[in-house]
Amino acid sequence: MAKTVLVINSGSSSIKYQLVDVENGDALASGLVEKIGEPTDGFYTHKYNGEKHKFTEPIPDHETGLKRVLEFFDQFGPNLKEYGLAAIGHRVVAGGAVFPEPALVTEKTIHQVEDLATLAPLHNGPEAKGAEVMKKLMPDVPAGFVFDSSFFQQLPAVSYTYALNKEVAEKYQIRRYGAHGTSHEYVGSVVPSLLNKPAEGLKQIVLHIGNGASASAQIGGRPVETSMGLTPLEGLVMGSRTGDIDPAVVFHLIRNAGLNVDELDKLFNKQSGMTGLTGRGDMRDVEQLAENGDENAQLALDIYHHRIVGYVGNYWAQLGGLDAITFTAGVGENSAETRAAVIDKFAFAGVKLDAEKNAIRSDEPRVISAADSSVAVCVVPTNEELAIARKVIKISEEGDVYGNKVA
């Protein structure tokens, strides 16, 4: 019988789920619950066996949504019992310094995840809620939290410490926590075998560029730098987030535009980045506009690439050498143009793409640099669900590092 994990990504108004076979990595079924708690009807999509089941109905809360999802598994398959459901995995954005490793879901860890909402106001509350509801609906199935920030708890102090007043930083736990850690760790772990090189000592940069975007520098699978900070706002230009910006812009807008904190949060997180520059948050649209001669879209793309190039140059120097640059996530896996725009800037240092390999579309990890490139360039499709599933199986079998064990 297969051994499967139901991975749940619970947001404020949506829930994504996937049933993962941990042995072969297959996604057996997946789905989406949208518009939870909104006055209009919500949407369900459940995908299994090449079929898509869609429903439109009111979804007042997470409990209603998740109950319906379990009904879909009963009604449309796969049957969770027959498919060996061994655990439930909950993705969490912010684990702060409290959770350097995954944790089993208990009443205490649910509260701890809730309390960490100060670090991820939009995410942690709904994530804790999702776990609480699933615990109630499936009390006998072990469940674990896997934190996007855990991998970056290994960052050295020199990269996680801001040059902010030490007392204030300590009192309010202000430091770089990073995000997308599960993806950076997973993608970084695939690269050594792809290059046929030992993992030990391998110096690499991983560019996770999707709707959210972040870069990491790793040596031997340990992170030494990352671009996201206290929250996922810092760093690269993103679909709707500014990335790096002078914090004085905040003072300026408070003083001159009279914006309050929620308006600023929305402006920086939801109305900026590619959306704010072009009106389009989807990179395919921006690339299309630029191709049609839209100069504003071209400038936005140039800004987007410019920021990535800056991070790669920075991290290359911080690493003191470089073996591989790897692209992942929606833009990194699919946009040959973005990869070329970034890598061509490093021609001066002997980094070269193989244009044909860069143009190939594939779901497989691959090397896309020329044979004589000074640094290998790779594309590795990320699989956060599989990484979460594996981690949750491990703690459900062995217990977590906080002393919790499955009864």
> Rounded distance, CA 386 to CA 393, Å?
11
Shortest Cβ 208–ligand AMP spacing (Å): 8
Q: Of 41, 115, 148, 400, which is the active-site residue?
A: 148
Does a cis peptide bond (omega within 30 degrees of 0) precede residue 78? Answer: yes
Shortest Cβ 187–ligand AMP spacing (Å): 12
Cα(first)–Cα(last) distance of the chain, in Å? Answer: 23
Active site residue 400: no
Q: Counting contacts by CB under 6 A, is residue 215 touching ligand AMP?
A: no
Q: Counting contacts by CB under 6 A, is residue 33 touching ligand AMP?
A: no
Q: Counting contacts by CB under 6 A, is residue 206 touching ligand AMP?
A: no
CA-only gyration radius of the chain, Å: 21
Shortest Cβ 158–ligand AMP spacing (Å): 29
Q: What character string, x for contact with ligand AMP (CB under 6 A) and - otherwise, covers 315-334?
A: --------------xxx--x
Residue 52 is inside which H or E element, if any?
strand 51-57
For ligand AMP, the nearest residue by Cβ is 330
Both tokens of residue 122?
Answer: 């939009």
Shortest Cβ 407–ligand AMP spacing (Å): 37
Both tokens of residue 363?
Answer: 């779901």
Q: Counting contacts by CB under 6 A, is residue 240 touching ligand AMP?
A: no
Shortest Cβ 274–ligand AMP spacing (Å): 8
**Cβ partners under 8 Å of residue 184, min gap 6:** 151, 152, 206, 208, 214, 216, 218, 223, 226
Among residues 87, 85, 44, the alpha carbon closest in space to that of 66 is found at 44
**Cβ partners under 8 Å of residue 343, min gap 6:** 325, 351, 352, 353, 369, 377
Q: Counting contacts by CB under 6 A, is residue 211 touching ligand AMP?
A: yes
Q: Counting contacts by CB under 6 A, is residue 284 touching ligand AMP?
A: yes
Residue from 215, 283, 342, 353 touching ligand AMP (CB under 6 A): that is 283
3-state helix/strand/coil string of 201-260:
CCEEEEEEECCCEEEEEEECCEEEEECCCCCCCCCCCCCCCCCCCCCHHHHHHHHHHCCC
Q: Counting contacts by CB under 6 A, is residue 114 touching ligand AMP?
A: no
Q: Counting contacts by CB under 6 A, is residue 279 touching ligand AMP?
A: no
Considering the complex, state which of residue 31 and residue 239 has its C-beta at the smaller distance from ligand AMP: 239
Question: Three-state SS for 26?
Answer: coil
Q: What character string, x for contact with ligand AMP (CB under 6 A) and - otherwise, covers 377-406?
A: ------------------------------
Considering the complex, state which of residue 166 and residue 284 has its C-beta at the smaller distance from ligand AMP: 284
CB atoms within 10 A of CB 220: 14
The contact set with ligand AMP (CB under 6 A) reads 210-211, 239, 282-284, 287, 329-331, 334-335
**Residues identified as active-site:** 148
